Chain A
């Protein structure tokens, strides 16, 4: 059990050190940075991918393009992309990191939004038009609420990927929780490596909880079939 003792020792050392809780490289500041980078990248990806996915799913035009582009994008090596953008744009701003994060986050959202909308029962679409809903109303009032679980799934997959990749982005000199791990390895400060890893895991779990809550609040019980028959 010596590894466990060592692990707990490092945790105690990391979280017990008052200096780790203050300043620009303290835990609150790093957490906030991590949150900012991830949220910014995810928000930009959602802004691009959701409307595009809705439009393509609803009109049925360009579906093949989505699938091909998404698969290509999935094959991109994360770290390579990061390094390339930093080399191209320099490391003076956050954009060399944000752009590849967005590029990584777009495909899952795009594909799931597109598939979600396209996959809605054609009878339902037919009924909506037959009732006299206009195209936009059919999309907004019927297709999106019904496809919402898949759209949110896409966002969640992207969020996990972005959170994980933001960690790696510390390689390029950016802040965030990855700093603890990368700097820790560089200086053989294992307390920092272990503490940072635990924070990253907790952060990822936190993101999952947030998405579960969002799903709970936005998806109709009639779609999630949460209710049991009374």
Chain B
């Protein structure tokens, strides 16, 4: 670790990412003094952490680690209440708080009385997050918390974290070696190179668009262009509403493709002018919520080359044609 300096803004997720040996975990552990920095200062809310008694400091900072690190001899509810107990909360109050958090992280309250070994890896990790949040610390340190679970569970844990963060607005420092995770979760991403040197610190969009050097470019990997699109909104995408027809109608239209919609306004399939008897598959994106990447992906899923814009309820709000997608893409790339 040498000459590393950065700021993790209040209420935001700052992700430290880099290859193994880049010192990202070491940096994280210096914040709660699991490792003491030999030189330099770490300020928490303007106060140097080096001046705070480590256990006291740590009780005020949530800490989530890779394997969750739950206490095997304690029930889930008591695991979550660990820090409240340490802070001397009344047992009843601590347990009530633990139950509240159990639900908050999306777990069945019936799990409260179980022991960690009775839970799946994903459930244990959720408990780990709940435990870190128990005393409502303003700061959360997360050290590769989702890297030991399978990809599907990892995705749902990431979504859950973003949902929680939108409610809680914690200051989170998150360590990962997975650049996709960094880009998905980070408000700001710090890319570290071996030796703990900061290669680039930027929001994910800027990182993808303007990598500072070859190291960052290489670390970001393939599909940088496509991945940038996940930061482009579909809000301004021009939609056509004249390409939908209700189910059952045979409508003689000059258009080569028409989207058949059921009575509730949900898409059924594309009908081509060439073979009107068969419906072809379609792809959808939620307008405004999903990114251009999703819109483009939806277009590629259908032989029509168009993607279907739906609202949160899944009802069709319009169709983005190739032309419209093309225009939006060139605007995104050229500004």
Contact = CB atoms under 8 A, between A and B. Distances in A.
Given A132-B58, A229-B118, A126 B34 contact: yes
Interface residues of B, number: 30
B208 interface: no
B74 A130 contact: no
A220 B79 CA distance: 13
B89 interface: no
Interface centre among A127, A132, A220, A223 (most CB of B within 10 A): A132
A145 B72 CA distance: 9
A222 B58 CA distance: 26
Interface in A183-230: 220-223, 225, 227, 229-230
Interface of A: 121, 123-124, 126-134, 137, 141-142, 145-146, 220-223, 225, 227, 229-230
A130 B59 contact: no
A220 B69 contact: no
Interface SS, A side: helix
A132 B56 CA distance: 6
Contacts of B115: 220-222, 225, 227
Contacts of A133: 55, 86
Given A129-B58, A131-B63, A132-B55, A220 B72 contact: yes
Of A128, A130, A142, A229, which is in contact with the most chain B CB atoms at under 10 Å from its CB? A130
16 contacts: A124-B69, A126-B65, A127-B65, A127-B69, A127-B70, A129-B58, A130-B32, A130-B34, A132-B59, A132-B83, A133-B86, A146-B71, A146-B73, A221-B115, A225-B115, A227-B115
A229 B111 CA distance: 11
Given A124-B71, A131-B82, 18 more contacts: A121-B67, A123-B67, A124-B72, A126-B65, A127-B70, A128-B69, A131-B83, A132-B58, A132-B83, A132-B86, A134-B55, A142-B73, A146-B72, A222-B72, A222-B74, A222-B116, A223-B73, A227-B118
